[in-house]
Amino acid sequence: AFVLNRIGDAAFLTGILMLFYYIGSTDFEVLSITVDSIDDGVLTAIGLCLFGGCVGKSAQFPLSGWLPDAMEGPTSVSSLIHAATMVAAGVFLLATVFPLFNESALLFIAIIGTITAASAAYFALGQYDIKRILAFSTISQLGFMMVGIGIGTWDAALFHLVTHAFFKCLLFLSEGAIIHEMAHLKAHSQLDFDPQDLRNMGGLKKYMPKTFILMSVASLALAGFPFTSGYLSKDSIVISAFEWALSKGDFYLIIPISLITVSILTA
């Protein structure tokens, strides 16, 4: 986590220094007025450098490897990291500095977001550790948010950031309850097994009915099921992506179609 985030931080710092060099200020009000005076190529470079910080912080491709490995900590802490604090920072930053991005930088952000969303959802299918599955799921949803910013609907991306925080937090807390009970079973039965391995679970609904209901609700929201918050926020990004792609040309439809596929994998 430390090493990969330092790579992102180096890019982010470079972007800030370039802004200061070309404009002489890092004040948002000054930047929004003077950003048009910068050469287009330089503006693209600045945008990509600022995005580099978000790639590290919000675990985007290719710096996403640290997030599943950060699952060693307590589950309640993981819940906060995935919902409210660390990985949310990159998306929030991009939405904040959105006026500084030109079309080239935004297209790059959308492409990276799509690759991240698709690859993480695919990797999650092959995991047996219950916490790693949710970690890859978070990376995938962050990819969705990046696509939202890349296609220009930063408001939809922030909306998904908020809704995702609630249902992902609930998923992690439910999962913590499951791991807690599995650890109790391990101590009680004196068997040697991994309490986080999915292959040792099943039939828990009978013993943990409340957790079952809460996890079901959170899972439906994550998958974007109708009448859930995830349905509103994910679909707003997908619909905006289709509108954006149709205005750009048929080739760009790869991005919204990929997002639909990722939603199916998420479910």
| DSSP-derived secondary structure for 100-132 | G--HHHHHHHHHHHHHHHHHHHHHHTT--BHHH
Who contacts 190 (Cβ-Cβ below 8 Å, separation ≥6)? Answer: none
pLDDT value of residue 48: 94
- Within 10 angstroms of residue 177's Cβ, the number of other Cβ atoms is 17
Q: Residue 243's pLDDT is what?
A: 94
Residue 143 burial (C-beta neighbours within 10 Å; 0-12, 13-18, 19+): buried
CA 249 to chain centre: 27
Tokens 């948010």 -> residue: 145
Tell me if 54 sits within 8 A of 154, measured CB to CB: no
Cα-Cα end-to-end distance for the chain? 28
Q: Note whether 136 and 123 are within 8 A (CB).
A: yes
Per-residue pLDDT in tens (0 to 9) along the chain, 267 residues: 888 889 999 999 999 999 999 988 888 888 888 888 888 899 999 999 999 998 988 888 888 888 888 877 788 888 888 787 778 888 999 999 998 899 999 999 999 999 999 999 999 999 998 889 988 998 999 999 999 999 999 999 999 999 999 999 999 999 999 999 999 988 998 888 888 888 888 888 899 999 999 999 999 999 988 999 989 999 999 999 999 999 988 899 999 999 999 999 988
CA 224 to chain centre: 15
SS3 251: helix
What does the pLDDT read at residue 74? 86
The whole-number pLDDT of residue 190 equals 86
Give the pLDDT of residue 83: 80
Q: What is the pTM of this model?
A: 0.91
List CB contacts of 105: < 8 A, sequence separation 6 or more.
Answer: 43, 44, 47, 48, 51
> Of 69, 83, 74, 75, which Cα lies nearest the Cα of 173?
75
